[in-house]
């Protein structure tokens, strides 16, 4: 039961027993009418207004509440699975990986052979006969090692796309997890505002009763101001729900504008202390940059071969008719010609510039890898601190602050019974309790945010 509900009951019980020694059976008796009269003494009766409409309204509010049907609430594992199937960024990354792998499949093949045909518009008469048609077939062969170097470059580029796909996957898991807990935090805020609003409304008849018996009008004005502020906060929170829901829908790759139910659970799970000794070898960003370095090195190897010539081997066949003069030796024989071609890499400056560019690319890739490794190391230290501090806050609020705040509310209610405190002090105590409850839930959300960041850093998103 929420602190607001037992707080209200406790306050009503106090007011019932302020001046009349009611029996235990009378205190537990359920309300049957909208107004009860309790005899305080022989001279001044006191009316305790407990409207049934408040109780029925509260029950109706609970029936319409989205927090009761938790069995049909959002599940983080189901959201992650759906996002991994339909997130547009992941679909694009998968397509890029597939494209790169197909390009790697075609790398390393020889260029297509070349077929040529010639028709002699004017026949060339030779001793053995007129030449009429010419057929040729040639094959270009790159310099030794060039094809394997091209294949290595293509494979390294495919490795980049695989690593970037994993980085995108980890990022989607992190974003979905954080959006899930943001949505759950909003659900807790809305629930608290609903309970607080209902709790304050149940106090208004009590305050009006005290005014009739000599209490201050200021209490009623202060209470109505508090109710207005809570109602305003509640409206703002409800309007945020569509925004938070739309963010989750976008991560899931959905195009409809449905309002998602609230999460079924909102709790932090303790991180195993031994799992904090993480290696960054599986960090997706570092893995992708390693593939960039490997690709740059393969391109440098390929650039070193760009100044060598390509060879072209060919064969030509010339169809020749019969000689004009009969009896000529070799008359009508078709000649066959073997050809050899070699490219001439004369412009050496271009090849030297290509090698210098490839060497600079290797240096840049290695420097980027070193920079990102340092950044990830710092980010790991920061996220471990955030996890530890958030868990410390959770334990502090659960073990110390919230019990003391509840005790403070009880003391304020007890003092109100003896006239040593005012209604404003009860409201302030309740506000302090609500503030600490908000702080607890924000600590839970912060813990899970940081844990999602950690899992993305070490490449273990979605494994818990």
pLDDT in tens, 377-421: 999 999 999 999 999 999 999 999 999 998 998 888 777 666 677
Sign of the Cα pseudo-torsion (101, 105, 106, 107, in order): positive
Judge whether residue 52 has pLDDT over 70: no
Q: Which of 51-65, 365-379, 423-437 has the lowest mean pLDDT?
A: 51-65
- For residue 347, give every residue at least 6 positions away whose Cβ sits within 8 Å of its Cβ, in sequence order, or none: none
pLDDT, one tens digit per residue, over 332-353 is: 678 899 999 998 888 888 899 9
Which residue ranges make up each domain of the chain? 3-457
- How many residues are present in the chain? 464
pLDDT at 59: 35
Q: What is the pLDDT of residues 84-95, one digit of tens each?
A: 999 999 999 999
Those residues with Cβ within 8 angstroms of residue 281's Cβ, 6 or more apart along the chain or in another chain: 287
User: What pTM value is reported for the model?
Assistant: 0.74
Q: Which residues fall within 8 angstroms of residue 371, CB to CB, at 6 or more apart?
A: none
Q: What is the pLDDT of residues 426-441, one digit of tens each?
A: 888 888 888 898 899 9
* Class of domain 3-457 (CATH, top level): mainly alpha
Residues 161-203: pLDDT tens digits? 999 999 999 999 999 999 999 999 999 989 888 888 887 887 7
- Mean pLDDT on 318-322: 81
């Amino acid at each position: 039961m929420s602190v607001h509900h037992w707080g209200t009951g406790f306050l009503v019980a106090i007011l019932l027993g302020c001046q009349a020694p009611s029996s235990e059976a009378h205190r537990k008796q359920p309300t049957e009418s909208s107004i009860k009269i309790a005899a305080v003494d022989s001279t001044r009766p006191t009316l305790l207004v407990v409207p049934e409409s408040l109780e029925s309204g509260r029950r109706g509010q609970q029936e319409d509440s989205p927090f009761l049907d938790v069995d049909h609430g959002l599940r983080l594992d189901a959201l992650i699975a759906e996002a991994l199937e339909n997130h547009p960024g992941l679909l694009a990354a998968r397509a890029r990986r597939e494209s790169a792998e197909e390009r790697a499949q075609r790398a390393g093949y020889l260029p297509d052979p070349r077929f040529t045909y010639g028709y002699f518009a004017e026949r060339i008469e030779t001793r053995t006969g007129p030449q009429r048609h010419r057929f040729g077939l040639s094959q270009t062969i790159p310099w030794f090692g060039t094809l394997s170097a091209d294949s290595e470059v293509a494979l390294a580029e495919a490795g980049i796309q695989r690593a970037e796909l994993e980085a995108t996957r980890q990022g989607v898991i992190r974003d979905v997890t954080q959006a899930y807990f943001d949505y759950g935090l909003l659900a807790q805020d809305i629930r608290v505002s609903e309970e607080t609003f209902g709790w304050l409304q149940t106090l208004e008849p009590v305050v009006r009763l005290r005014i009739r018996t000599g209490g201050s009008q200021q209490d009623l004005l202060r209470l109505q101001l508090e109710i207005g502020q809570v109602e305003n906060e509640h409206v703002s929170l409800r309007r945020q729900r569509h925004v938070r829901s739309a963010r989750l829908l976008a991560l899931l790759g959905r195009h409809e504008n449905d309002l998602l139910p609230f999460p079924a659970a909102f709790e932090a799970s303790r991180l195993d202390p031994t799992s904090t000794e993480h290696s960054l070898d599986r960090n997706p960003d570092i893995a992708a940059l390693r593939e960039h370095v490997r690709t740059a090195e393969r391109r440098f190897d390929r650039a070193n071969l760009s100044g060598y010539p390509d060879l072209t081997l060919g064969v030509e066949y010339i169809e020749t008719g019969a000689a004009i003069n009969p009896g000529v030796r070799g008359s009508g024989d078709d000649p066959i010609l073997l050809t050899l071609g070699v490219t001439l890499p004369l412009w050496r400056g271009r090849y030297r510039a290509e090698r210098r560019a490839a060497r600079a690319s290797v240096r840049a890739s290695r420097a980027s890898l070193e920079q990102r490794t340092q950044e990830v190391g710092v980010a790991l230290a920061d996220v471990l601190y955030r996890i530890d501090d958030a868990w410390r806050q959770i334990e502090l609020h659960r073990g110390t602050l919230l019990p003391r705040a509840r005790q403070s509310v009880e003391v304020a209610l007890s003092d109100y019974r003896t006239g040593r405190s005012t209604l404003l002090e009860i409201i302030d105590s309740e506000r302090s309790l609500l503030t600490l409850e908000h702080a607890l839930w924000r600590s839970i959300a912060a813990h899970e945010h940081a844990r999602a960041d950690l899992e993305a850093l070490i490449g273990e998103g979605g494994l818990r």
